[in-house]
Amino acid sequence: MKPCPGRLPNAILRGPRVFASAQVDNRRMLFELDQIDLSRGGEPVLRGLSARIPEGASCIAGPSGSGKSTLLRLLDRLVDPEAGTVRYRGEDVRDRDPQALRREVCLVPQLPALLEGTVADNIHFAAELAGREPDVGRLLELAGLGPSFAERDAARLSVGEQQRAMLARALALEPRVLLLDEPTSALDPETKAAVEGTLLELRRRLGISLVLVTHDLDQARRMSKWLLRIENGRAVVAGPTSELLAAVG
């Protein structure tokens, strides 16, 4: 029987937590999570989760409520686990200054959250946090926006434009990693394709690592080289995206 689109084959879901592949040994590890436990309101969200995420473009996939967004927030210490260790480039994130870590590992949330004022105001705000003077025009261009957007009222942008303005603001921090929580979930297909193209171009031009949360396995195929699947707060399988999704239509 052909697997349903958007779902991993049952054989993979029943397989080992880490997909055996020599490719993992050739990748530098960006994040390592070791036996992570985390609860919210007394209910477990992540349970003994262990996983590795390499440098490059990676995707965290899984059904709603599986803990994907919580895992993403662990990576830049917006939350800390109750048990276990999160390492970034081999160093326990608890040994890093949180603000410095968040400038280097920058989260772009699912819903745009721009400040009042212009797009340029938002970019300057982020740049000041990092002690930098931003090249607003270049940042807008990297985020797929024209120079005229600098003086646009952030509140009057479309959702797709706001998402790109959020990217421009994040890039003002000169991060090494972008954490992207369902960045295209509220967008129409044309705008979604444009934002995906922008992210891939950023990866090509700047060498930034991307960690993308998505429900959409077709997007995972387009956007990532490494896939981590979680369900019920546990890592189910991880490995090269092309290998894990080869059996999916």
User: What are 27-36's pLDDT values in tens digits?
Assistant: 589 999 999 9
pLDDT band at 249 (very low <50, low <70, confident <90, very high): low
Q: Does the 10-113+176-244 domain belong in CATH 3.40.630.30? A: no
Two tokens at 249? 């239509």
pLDDT for the residue numbered 191: 86
The answer to whether residue 5 scores a pLDDT higher than 60 is no
| DSSP 3-state of 151 | helix
Q: For all residues of the chain together, what is the average pLDDT? A: 87
Report d(CA 197, CA 190) in Å as an integer. 11
User: What are 49-71's pLDDT values in tens digits?
Assistant: 999 999 999 999 998 889 999 99
Angular region, 156: left φ>0, alpha ψ -120 to 50, beta rest: alpha
Q: Which is more confident, 24 or 191?
A: 191
pLDDT band at 37 (very low <50, low <70, confident <90, very high): very high
User: What are 110-121's pLDDT values in tens digits?
Assistant: 888 899 999 999
pLDDT band at 10 (very low <50, low <70, confident <90, very high): very low
pLDDT for the residue numbered 6: 45
Q: What is the DSSP string of 157-168?
A: S-HHHHHHHHHH
Q: Which is more confident, 246 or 170?
A: 170
Enter the DSSP assignment of 189: H
Sign of CA dihedral 203, 23, 48, 96: negative
User: What are 72-85's pLDDT values in tens digits?
Assistant: 999 999 999 999 99
**pTM for the structure as a whole:** 0.86
Question: Angle at which helices 159-171 and 189-206 pack, to 10 degrees?
Answer: 10
Nearest CA-CA partner of 69 in 216, 241, 212: 212
Q: Could you give the percent of the chain with pLDDT greater than 70?
A: 88
Domain ranges for the chain: 10-113+176-244
pLDDT for the residue numbered 167: 93
Average pLDDT over residues 163-188: 92
Nearest CA-CA partner of 212 in 224, 204, 200: 224
